[in-house]
Amino acid sequence: MSTPLRLASREDLRAWCTHIRQSGGTVGFVPTMGALHAGHRSLARASRERGLTTLASIFVNPMQFGPNEDFDRYPRSLDTDADALEREGVAAIFAPSVEEMVSAGDRTTVSVRELTQHFCGPFRPGHFDGVSTVVARLFSLVGPCVAFFGRKDYQQVAVIRRMTTDLAMPIEVVACPTLRDEDGLAMSSRNRYLNPAARHQALSLARGLHAASEAYHAGERRADSLVFLARQEVVSCMDSVDYVALGDADSLAPLAGTVLRAPAVLAIAASLGGTRLIDNIVFGIDPSPIGKHP
């Protein structure tokens, strides 16, 4: 493996991507906020396995953090991240400064309606607008590509997929499976905020999803029962639970009170000692096993 090229400016990024395409290649794009873990590395690997020329971006996007969220303390580890990306065969890294990505006179927002009203939407006002706007900007710079996202951020992928379709962007969005540690905890850059005791309690998210999954595979289709099974694992372990909710797998529209007939996603957000964690499992598309005995 050779050291990934470091692209410093928007112009460098655009020129490099154009060059790759003109040379007959296809750009595989892995947008990240850094603090990379095996989940991110699996995205780069998915790109490599498709024979793409992989570009990773590392940008902690201030637009997607609320005023009381963890933008300042969000982990930053560029050199370690670059080493990890090199081992995954990433060809280039775009790690812009905030000034490079957010111009002073910026007044444009890309918003996706409805999907952003569910799950995390009410708890993180403005978050998804921040995500869709910065991703639209990155997609404009990168140009036609295959973009890889982790399914742990299920709602984020749904929003980005909707945006690329609606704005007719020449982007193929690929959602990759959630990676989990041995104990079942979904990998997240925010897991490093957890001490061992907190981490033990945080396993309740995966345990709740696992309980619902077992019931689903045993034939349970009542949304409220599946939510109840997950919720009861989580409420006793976490400081606060934003939601445990079942939504339509595409629109994310709430399925409370219904009997599942179409693919659905069971999603959880809950906090512990100031660390907010999310996790989800999809029913009816992909069994997506969430690990052994979480």
Q: Residue 139: which of 54, 30, 43, 20 has the closest Cα?
A: 30
Pairing between β-strand 92-94 and β-strand 5-7 as defined by DSSP bridges:
parallel
- Bridge partners, 58 (sequence order): 32
Choose between 80 and 111: whose C-beta lies nearer to a copy of itself.
Answer: 111
Q: What is the dihedral of CA 15, 17, 19, 23, to 10 degrees?
A: -170
Choose between 144 and 284: whose C-beta lies nearer to a copy of itself.
Answer: 144
40 is an active site residue: yes
Among 110, 185, 187, 246, binds a copy of itself (CB under 8 A): 110
Q: Which long-range contacts (CB under 8 A, 24 or more apart) does 248-254 make?
A: 249/282, 249/284, 249/285, 250/158, 251/114, 251/115, 252/114, 252/115, 252/118, 252/119, 252/155, 252/158, 253/114, 253/118, 254/118
- If binding is defined by CB under 8 A, does position 111 make contact with a copy of itself? yes
Contact of 244 with 224, CB cutoff 8 Å = no
Q: 3-state DSSP call for residue 264?
A: strand
Shortest Å, Cβ 239 to a copy of itself: 33
CA separation for the pair 69, 280 (Å, rounded): 21
CA separation for the pair 18, 197 (Å, rounded): 49
Site size toward a copy of itself, by CB under 8 A: 29
Shortest Å, Cβ 156 to a copy of itself: 14
Shortest Å, Cβ 113 to a copy of itself: 4
Choose between 103 and 240: whose C-beta lies nearer to a copy of itself.
Answer: 103
Q: Which stretch binds a copy of itself (CB under 8 A): 49-57, 102-110, 203-211, 266-274?
A: 102-110
- If binding is defined by CB under 8 A, does position 107 make contact with a copy of itself? yes
Choose between 163 and 277: whose C-beta lies nearer to a copy of itself.
Answer: 163
Q: Which element (helix H / strand E) includes 237?
A: none
- If binding is defined by CB under 8 A, does position 103 make contact with a copy of itself? yes
The tokens for 158 are: 């749904």
Angle at 42 between CA 175 and CA 142, to 5 degrees: 65
CA separation for the pair 63, 71 (Å, rounded): 10
Q: Which of 19, 37, 40, 200 is catalytic?
A: 40
Residues numbered 114-173 forming contacts with a copy of itself, rule: CB under 8 A: 114-115, 132-133, 136-137, 140-141, 143, 162-163, 165-170
Shortest Å, Cβ 94 to a copy of itself: 12
- If binding is defined by CB under 8 A, does position 239 make contact with a copy of itself? no
Shortest Å, Cβ 138 to a copy of itself: 8
Residues numbered 170-199 forming contacts with a copy of itself, rule: CB under 8 A: 170
Shortest Å, Cβ 57 to a copy of itself: 13
Among 49, 69, 83, 106, binds a copy of itself (CB under 8 A): 106
The one-letter amino acid code at 51 reads G
Q: Which active-site residues does the annotation give? A: 40
Residues of this chain that interact with a copy of itself (CB under 8 A) are 10, 14, 103, 105-115, 132-133, 136-137, 140-141, 143, 162-163, 165-170
